[in-house]
Chain A
Amino acid sequence: MSTPEQLGRQLQQIALGNREAFQQLYLATSDKLFSVSLHILRREDWAEEALQDAFIKVWHSASDYSVQRGSVMNWLISMVRYRSIDMLRSKGNQTLGSDALPDLPSSEDDHLDIKLSNSENAEQLERCLDELQPSTRQSIQLAFIYGLSHHEVSAYLSEALGTVKSWIRRGLDSLKGCLQR
């Protein structure tokens, strides 16, 4: 895994048209980004398409990156996630019932609580997520990691749509308050 500094240098080189740097960046990040996309799209062919689209955009818009946008990895994750979410819609966006989500961990277990520990931001996020009600935390994680809509989260957790919406809305408010402390 490349360090954030290496990724930053590679991105600078890509902005100058350096193909070798582009391939290095791809090799260093594509397995993580493919996983991110696959969690949302749940089909390998779609996830591959999203990965391709995102990297082609990276090649053309490397010079748009600035450190104000967060780390390079953070920027890449956004690129892949947004492309994957857009594809959910363009690929038909069929509403998934709870029975159509075989790959998700059972709604009863705690498996969704991914342990965050690598960076300062991650530690802070973990602490703030822990302050939320479990159902609120789970709703936010389902939406973010698996790209579930409010409807899908509601079906998955067997909770009323209005309840899920209000959990997520209030959960994001609390999260922001905590993250800014």
Chain B
Amino acid sequence: MNYQSTERQHQLAARYVLGSMRGQARAKFQRLLMEYPKLRDEVTFWEQHLNELAAQLPDKSAPKSAWEAIERRLGWRRQQVTSNRGWRWLTATLAAILVVVTLSQTLLAPMPGVPQAERIAVIQNSDARTLWLLEQREQVLDVAAVGAIDPLANEDYELWMLPEGGAPPISLGLLPQQGTRTLNVPANVDLQNIAALAVSREPLGGSPLAVPSGPVLFTTDFVVVSKT
């Protein structure tokens, strides 16, 4: 296609701004905009005129949640987890954790002759489907993603420990969305001192804050497995 033709550029740019160019054609045109400054000028011409139609539409109050979400997505908003409300919610979920603990003890009873980890944890969703298995070996956590995990394209799942006594959460690292990963826990973090484990959804690379910046999705606890 000859993108240099003025007539062609005019029609393509107009259809792009109008919105009637869709799908792959639209994506391709967006790439061409970077290559052909003349196309960019055509697009600007149409934007300057046609956007007046949009500018005249009556205002509609944007939901309050939109600004909060923007701040959160930019990593500016202190997560509610550190607020009283968040902590009360976490406390309430501790009761639910007991159920998981009981279940995981049943599921993961030590097999004779197999060396066992000191402590394990099972992270499950609200349907009791297992998402991750964790094994603690001193200051190392071996994590296995075991399926049913909603894949995140541009975000990460981050694991947190909630210390006994209500101190703020401490990040233990990012959870794999598939396969296994070894998390090395800093020596100054006492893994014995855990009230609960929590998983939050975070921007790629993890929370920009010292505490979770995204929603806490799952919580669980370690279970001590007796060694054979």
Contacts and interface: CB of A to CB of B under 8 A. Distances in A.
Interface string B56-67: 111111110111
A118 B56 contact: yes
B12 to A, nearest CB: 11
B35 interface: no
A153 to B, nearest CB: 8
B62 A48 contact: yes
Contact of B54 (A52, A86, A144, A149): A144
Interface in A55-113: 55-56, 59, 68-70, 73-74, 77-78, 81, 85-86, 88-89, 93
Interface in A22-42: 23, 26, 30-36, 38-40
A181 interface: no
B57 A114 contact: yes
Given A69-B44, A145-B53, A34 B26 contact: no
A69 B14 CA distance: 15
Chain A: number of interface residues, binned into ranges:
35 or more
Contact of B49 (A59, A124, A173): A124
Contact of B65 (A19, A48, A81): A48
Contact of A144 (B44, B50, B62): B50
B48 A172 contact: no
Interface of B: 10-11, 14-15, 17-20, 22-23, 26, 44-45, 47-63, 65-67, 69-70, 73-74, 76
B50 to A, nearest CB: 6
Contacts of B44: 68-70
A51 interface: yes
A74 B56 CA distance: 12
B14 A176 contact: yes
A165 to B, nearest CB: 9
Contacts of A145: 53-54, 57
A3 interface: no
A159 interface: no
B20 A143 contact: yes
A85 B73 contact: no
Contact of A30 (B18, B19, B45, B67): B67
Contacts of B22: 85, 88-89, 93, 149
A179 B49 contact: yes
Contact of B70 (A40, A52, A176): A52
